[in-house]
């Protein structure tokens, strides 16, 4: 067999393996429960990815933590400055005193974990990649486009502008998702206000552009991985959103790129993580940064759980681009204008690690 034929055969085998995994509707958790002790080839990442997972040097660095208490007092300007500076330098920060009760954080994690830990048949009923009803369970958002799969399953629930059909939200987490949605709607409004002010704009600027309205909740489940050095939990990517709010449990594994280094986002009990998405980097004309982040495969015996909320504009028809207030002869627009609908279509038809979406829309 010639080299080309051998490569073609390899690609065909891989496509078949992906198809079988997808059709099985097992997800990664189902594979593990079936007694698997080593990784199927589909999950093994290429050497260049695997070598980048190893820690270099021993410089512990961390992303900033911002205390949100006293926002209605004269502390507000300094909180705005802390948020804006974290958004400019790291694109990621943790928040404490955000007023989401600890019990709600714990119940949200527990309920979404309970969804993933149901018998496979219960989850297989909603295994799909698209759904009018706004609820879907799948393994790897980019499974059908990626070079290698990651060790993670996801339940995604549309939570705005209209919450998914209630009877479609799995009962095991329904009440908690409804509560979480209310909390993140309030919190999202507050964060968009601080981030708008940090750009020197009115507090309601991002909200007036509908940036709070379209939301998805993603409950990611990272089962214990039998060979964590050969795969990854979530490949490096930037989020296409305006902002993302992330709740993680205490297992760890999320890393953020800062310069040339990967920085661990160490879990802080009671904290939430906020990151800038591509849309906000574009609107801020590169003032704020949407940075690469990834999750290592889970080497712990316990599963890892995280819940991400992505905020997008609900207005898919108007043109978006850098705020005119942030464009000047000294700082021309870095991006062209586009419709959010076209922007998101680009995201969902590509592999995760090839799509810092902002690059598609540079001026």
Binding to ligand AKG by residue 242, rule CB under 6 A? no
Chain positions 205 to 224 lying near ligand AKG, rule: CB under 6 A, are 218, 220
Name which position in 82, 142, 197, 239 contacts ligand AKG (CB under 6 A): 239
Q: Does 334 bind ligand AKG (CB under 6 A)?
A: no
Report CA 118 to chain centroid distance, whole Å. 23
CB of 152 to ligand AKG, least distance (A): 8
Q: Does 241 sit near ligand AKG (CB under 6 A)? A: no
Site string for ligand AKG, 289-328 (x = CB under 6 A): ----x-x----------x-x--------------------
Distances 190 to 8, 72, 79, 321, 331 between C-alpha atoms, Å: 52, 11, 12, 22, 28
Sequence-separated (6 or more) residues with CB below 8 Å from residue 147: 45, 46, 351
Q: Which is nearer to ligand AKG, 239 or 278 (CB)?
A: 239
HSE (side-chain half, CA atoms, 13 Å) at 16: 6
Question: Restricting to residues 175-204, which ones interact with ligand AKG according to CB under 6 A?
Answer: none
What is the distance between the alpha carbons of residues 277 and 239, in angstroms, rounded to a whole number? Answer: 5
By C-beta, is 123 or 237 nearer to ligand AKG? 237
254 binds ligand AKG (CB under 6 A): yes
DSSP state of 238: -
Facing residues of 309 across strands?
217, 245
CB 234 within 8 A of CB 225: no
The single residue among 231, 248, 255, 284 that binds ligand AKG, judged by CB under 6 A, is 248
Tokens of 38: 């080593």
CB nearer to ligand AKG: give 68 or 254.
Answer: 254
Q: Name the one range near ligand AKG by CB under 6 A: 66-74, 114-122, 246-254, 284-292.
A: 246-254
Q: Which is nearer to ligand AKG, 192 or 272 (CB)?
A: 272
Among 39, 68, 246, 309, indicate the residue that binds ligand AKG (CB under 6 A): 246
If one counts every other C-beta atom within 10 angstroms of the C-beta of residue 148, the result is: 21
- By three-state DSSP, how is residue 360 classified? helix
Q: How far is the CB of 312 from ligand AKG (least distance, A)?
A: 13
Structure tokens at 83: 């948020």
Considering the complex, state which of residue 31 and residue 234 has its C-beta at the smaller distance from ligand AKG: 234
Burial level of 275, CB count in 10 A (0-12/13-18/19+)?
Answer: buried
Separation of alpha carbons 4 and 15, rounded Å: 16
Q: Which residues bind ligand AKG (CB under 6 A)?
A: 218, 220, 234, 239, 246, 248, 254, 293, 295, 306, 308
């Amino acid at each position: 067999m010639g080299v080309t034929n051998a490569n073609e055969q390899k690609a065909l085998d891989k496509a078949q393996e992906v198809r079988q995994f997808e059709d099985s509707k097992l997800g990664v958790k189902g594979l593990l429960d079936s007694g698997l002790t080593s990784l199927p080839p589909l999950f093994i990442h290429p050497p260049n990815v695997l070598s980048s997972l190893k820690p270099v040097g021993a410089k512990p660095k961390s992303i900033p933590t911002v205390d949100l208490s006293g926002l209605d007092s004269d502390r507000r300007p300094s909180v705005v400055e802390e948020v804006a500076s974290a958004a400019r330098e790291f694109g990621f920060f943790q928040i404490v005193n955000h007023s989401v009760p600890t019990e709600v954080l714990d119940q949200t994690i527990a309920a979404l974990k309970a969804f993933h830990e149901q018998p496979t048949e219960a989850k297989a009923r909603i295994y799909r990649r698209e759904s009018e009803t706004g609820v879907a369970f799948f393994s790897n958002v980019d499974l059908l486009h990626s070079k290698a799969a990651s060790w993670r399953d996801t339940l995604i629930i549309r939570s705005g502008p209209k919450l998914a059909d209630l009877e479609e939200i799995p009962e095991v987490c329904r009440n908690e998702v409804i509560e979480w949605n209310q909390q993140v709607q309030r919190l999202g409004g507050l964060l968009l206000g601080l981030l708008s002010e940090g750009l020197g704009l009115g507090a309601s600027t991002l909200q007036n552009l509908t940036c709070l309205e379209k939301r998805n909740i993603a409950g990611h489940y990272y089962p214990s991985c039998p060979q964590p050095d050969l795969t990854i939990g979530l490949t490096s990517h930037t989020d296409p959103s305006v902002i993302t709010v992330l709740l993680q449990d205490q297992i760890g594994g999320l890393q953020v790129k800062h310069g040339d280094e990967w920085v661990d986002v160490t879990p802080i009990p009671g904290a939430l993580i906020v990151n800038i998405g591509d849309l906000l980097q574009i609107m801020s004309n590169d003032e704020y940064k949407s940075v690469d982040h990834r999750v290592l495969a889970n080497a712990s015996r316990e599963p890892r759980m995280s819940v991400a909320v992505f905020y997008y504009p609900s207005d898919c028809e108007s043109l978006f681009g850098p705020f005119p207030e942030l464009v000047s002869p000294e700082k021309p627009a870095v991006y062209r204008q586009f419709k959010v609908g076209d922007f998101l279509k680009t995201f969902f038809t590509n592999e995760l690690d090839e799509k810092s979406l902002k690059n598609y829309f540079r001026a």
